[in-house]
């Protein structure tokens, strides 16, 4: 007669394990979605400034609004960081 509480206990334990596994999978999925979102955010870098990550134009940014200086500038330079066109932006 002592086996009945054991069966109930094992059943409860099994439910806890199943819920725990499904909960772990859910949190793992949301973690993958979050990393995907951060990868998209990292791709928001203008290709005219390959050594740094500056958001693409628009909006127009000035050197005082970014945290980089003396970085490489190639191509269209939509922000106009390289006013003298020598390939170096925001020279200090």
Query: Residue numbers of the site for Ca ion (CB under 5 A)?
Result: 82, 84, 86, 88
Minimal CB distance to Ca ion: which residue?
82
Which is nearer to Ca ion, 37 or 71 (by Cβ)? 71
Rounded to whole angstroms, how far apart are CA atoms 92 and 74?
18
Contact of 81 with 63, CB cutoff 8 Å: yes
Which is nearer to Ca ion, 60 or 86 (by Cβ)? 86
Which is nearer to Ca ion, 2 or 86 (by Cβ)? 86
Closest residue by Cα to residue 90 from 45, 80, 57: 80
């Amino acid at each position: 007669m002592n086996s009945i509480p054991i069966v109930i206990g094992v059943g409860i334990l099994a439910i806890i394990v199943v819920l725990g596994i499904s909960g772990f999978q859910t949190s793992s999925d949301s973690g993958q979605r979050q990393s995907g979102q951060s990868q998209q955010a990292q791709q928001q870098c203008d290709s005219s400034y390959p050594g740094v990550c500056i958001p693409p134009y628009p909006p127009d940014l000035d050197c005082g609004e970014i945290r980089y200086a003396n970085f490489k500038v190639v191509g269209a330079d939509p922000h106009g960081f390289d006013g003298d066109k020598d390939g170096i932006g925001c020279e200090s």
